[in-house]
Amino acid sequence: MKTFIARSLFLFSLSVAVLVAACDSDVPPTEKSQPSQPADLAPPARFNGATPGVFRPSASAFALLKTLKLEPGHDTVVFGHSGEIPVAGDWDGSGSTRVGVYQPNDRTFRLLVGARPGSPVTIVKFGAIGDLPLAGDWDGNGTATAGVYRPSDSTFHLRNGNGADEKEIVIKFGEKGDLPIAGDWDGNKSWTIGVYRPGTNTFFLRNSNVAGQPDLTVKLGLLRIFQFPAIGTETA
Amino acid sequence: MTVGVYSPSKSLFTLHSSNATAGSDTVIPFGTFGDKPVIGKWNLN
């Protein structure tokens, strides 16, 4: 049973850990889209150009949607290996998000600094066994750097540079079972931490990278509650 | 930036429109079994 829960939680953690979307605030509600009708999806303008993508371990590649609609399709970037966890960030201040992967076995980030395979790769050895990878522009300087969340003691470990001797910012936030997330929640250019609590389908977000009470609490719709337990069923 | 989730069992992204409980969801079916989500401004072209 323990193994089952751990496995389910691990798979689930990979799925929500880094998922954030740039979005204008105070947008009016729109009609819900129907998954079976891609043409009816909401227009992309509201999300400031950020779109979803997936890392497909079986193909060792990323599939990155061009817009929030399934047409005109996606771009493929061959990068990463099975067993690795995807990350994404603007590694060089280009204004575009690039992909990267984290290899849990040797606790190493490999960040693709460019749009295509063959671009330079920045290697960052960082983290401990069991850590979950993050990336974000923690100091608001225009470039994203690595971070990890350590579930064993609910601490974030953030670095503002990718050098081996870079100082770590350590922040205790969240509780057992929480999954990490990061983003620029208040639009001040600095990315800050947050956690997702699967049991209550709730995000708790900080607007600064210091310990404290959540600045924002976001509980997603009831529908989602019934989706996530299904993940456990699948991996049983 | 606002929060969202990915449901691996349905290969479905749900992007929330605000960082408050109130707000709308944009639902995007994308991916296949085993995929892991990312999000960003890719600008590949």
pLDDT single digits (tens) B20-42: 888 888 888 999 988 999 988 89
Contact A134, A17 (CB under 8 A): yes
Sequence letter at residue A87: V
Give percent above pLDDT 70 in chain A.
73
Q: What is the pLDDT of residues A180-191, one digit of tens each?
A: 999 988 889 999
Chain B residues inside the 8 Å CB shell of A16: 5-6, 37
The reply to whether residue A51 touches residue B41, judged by beta carbons under 8 angstroms, is yes
What pLDDT shows up at residue A235?
A: 21
Q: What is the pLDDT of residues A48-95, one digit of tens each?
A: 678 889 999 999 999 999 888 877 889 999 999 999 999 999 999 999
What pLDDT shows up at residue A220?
A: 81
**Tokens, residue A140:** 């608001």
**pLDDT score of A32 more than 90:** no
Closest approach of A80 to chain B, Cα-based (Å)? 12
What pLDDT shows up at residue B45?
A: 65
**Tokens, residue B19:** 């960082």
Give the pairing type, strands A192-197 and A202-205.
antiparallel
- For residue A17, the tally of other CB atoms under 10 A from its CB is 24
Global pTM? 0.80
What pLDDT shows up at residue A47?
A: 52
What pLDDT shows up at residue A151?
A: 95
**B7 at A interface, C-beta within 8 A:** yes
Domain ranges (residues) in chain A? 3-67+74-225
3-state helix, strand, coil split of chain B in percent (to 5) is 0, 45, 55
What pLDDT shows up at residue A222?
A: 54
Strand, helix or coil at A146? strand
Q: What is the pLDDT of residues A91-132, one digit of tens each?
A: 999 999 999 999 999 999 999 999 999 999 999 999 999 999
Q: How confident is the model at residue B7 (pLDDT cuts 50, 70, 90)?
A: confident
Contact A98, A111 (CB under 8 A): yes
The reply to whether residue B24 touches residue A224, judged by beta carbons under 8 angstroms, is no
Question: Who among A19, A22, A49 is closest to B37 (CB)?
Answer: A19
The terminus-to-terminus CA distance of chain A in angstroms comes to 10
- Scanning the structure block, which residue is given the tokens 């060792």? A60
What pLDDT shows up at residue A48?
A: 63
**Tokens, residue A97:** 């998000």
Give the pairing type, strands A20-21 and B2-7.
antiparallel
Chain B residues inside the 8 Å CB shell of A35: 10, 12, 27, 29
Best of A90, A197, A227 to substitute, by most chain B Cβ atoms within 10 angstroms, is A227
Q: How confident is the model at residue B15 (pLDDT cuts 50, 70, 90)?
A: confident
Q: What is the C-alpha to C-alpha distance for residues A41 and A174, in angstroms, rounded to an integer?
A: 34
